[in-house]
């Protein structure tokens, strides 16, 4: 098994554990990752998910180049679909996902981080889309998600050159939300994950669904969806609890109902 799933209360920590290959994703690992993400996505006791890599050096150094080197066109299609499924699960599961980028996040690794809602990095992190140097392009969502995160001009520069950025530059261009010393990365990520896990699950799910629409379709369609989701939350106990707690000057206790 190259994917570990552990729990810290309502937070699931999904760790890619193949450090001998810098956590590169081969067929077995990406299939296991997809199963693990499907499981945490549908487990109501999980309210936030952290994705990270085992060892000191890498988050995920990419898709496994040795595995990819022999793919036919049809196999490459299936391979692309597997990576798309994982990144889409991270992006669309109805609970927050946070990447704890503890080292190299290259190619498919950067694309998994881009699928997450929030990215925290260690000072040792290096991110990039080096596929151009292998004669291919980012195939697990990078061509679409990187421009949405850092803007089209910077994304094109990174994808066309294949150059890596360090953690400081990644923070400056908005590719990661914050940077921490290596030993602080997981504690800080878990602190955030626990904070998010304590929010109303339904409000969180709808907030994620609504913000995901921000860069898709028209503003008018997005506003219409926002209005529907907003109104629907007034049918939940969590809305009464959240507002009641404010009025009664006490912390809220959300149940997900």
Q: Which residues bind ligand DAK (CB under 6 A)?
A: 21-22, 24, 61-66, 76, 79-80, 83, 104, 106-108, 130-131, 134, 136, 139-140
- Which CB sits closer to ligand DAK, 132 or 178? 132
Would you call 183 a catalytic residue per the annotation?
no
- The distance of closest approach from Cβ of residue 125 to ligand DAK in the complex, given in angstroms and rounded to an integer, is 12
Which residue out of 28, 56, 75, 111 is catalytically annotated? 111
Closest CA to 208 of 115, 129, 108: 115
Q: How far is the CB of 141 from ligand DAK (least distance, A)?
A: 9
Burial class of residue 78, CB neighbours in 10 A (0-12, 13-18, 19+):
exposed
Closer Cβ to ligand DAK, 85 or 210, answer by number: 85
Q: What is the DSSP letter of 235?
A: G
Catalytic one of 56, 75, 91, 131: 131
Structure tokens that stand for 193 in this block: 């994950």
| Active-site residue flag, 131 | yes
Cβ closer to ligand DAK: 140 or 254?
140
Q: Measured from the CB of residue 105, what is the shortest distance to ligand DAK in angstroms?
A: 9
Distance CA 30, CA 25 (A): 6
CB atoms within 10 A of CB 229: 17
Tell me if 3 sits within 8 A of 16, measured CB to CB. Answer: yes
Tell me the DSSP string of 92-111: HSSS-EEEEE-SEEETHHHH
Output the smallest distance, CB 128 to ligand DAK, in A.
8
Query: Looking at beta carbons only, is 63 or 190 nearer to ligand DAK?
Result: 63
Contacts of 249 (CB under 8 A, 6+ apart): none
- By beta-carbon distance, which residue lies closest to ligand DAK? 139
* The residue to which tokens 């080197």 are assigned: 69
SS3 1: coil
Which residues have a catalytic role annotated? 111, 131
């Amino acid at each position: 098994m190259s994917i570990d799933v552990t729990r810290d209360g309502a937070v699931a920590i999904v760790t890619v554990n193949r450090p001998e290959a810098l956590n590169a994703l081969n067929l077995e690992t990406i299939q296991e990752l997809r199963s693990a993400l499907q499981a945490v996505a549908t487990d109501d006791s999980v309210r936030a998910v952290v994705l990270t890599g085992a060892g000191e050096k890498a988050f995920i150094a990419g898709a496994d180049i040795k595995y990819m080197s022999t793919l036919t066109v049809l196999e490459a299609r299936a391979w692309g679909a597997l990576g798309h499924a994982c990144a889409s699960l991270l992006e669309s599961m109805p609970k927050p996902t946070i990447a704890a980028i503890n080292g190299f996040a290259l190619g498919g690794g950067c694309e998994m981080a881009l699928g997450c809602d929030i990215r925290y990095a260690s000072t040792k992190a290096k991110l990039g889309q080096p596929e151009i140097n292998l004669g291919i392009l980012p195939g697990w969502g990078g061509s679409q998600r990187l421009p949405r995160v850092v803007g089209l001009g910077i994304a094109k520069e990174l994808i066309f050159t294949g150059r890596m950025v360090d953690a400081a530059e990644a923070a400056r261009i908005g590719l990661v939300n914050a940077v921490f010393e290596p030993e602080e990365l997981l504690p800080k990520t878990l602190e955030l994950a626990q904070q998010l896990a304590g929010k109303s699950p339904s409000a969180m799910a709808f907030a994620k669904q609504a913000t995901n629409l921000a860069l898709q379709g028209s503003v008018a369609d997005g506003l219409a969806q926002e209005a529907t989701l907003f109104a629907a939350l007034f049918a939940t106990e969590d809305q009464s609890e959240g507002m009641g707690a404010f009025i009664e000057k006490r912390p809220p206790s959300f149940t997900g109902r």
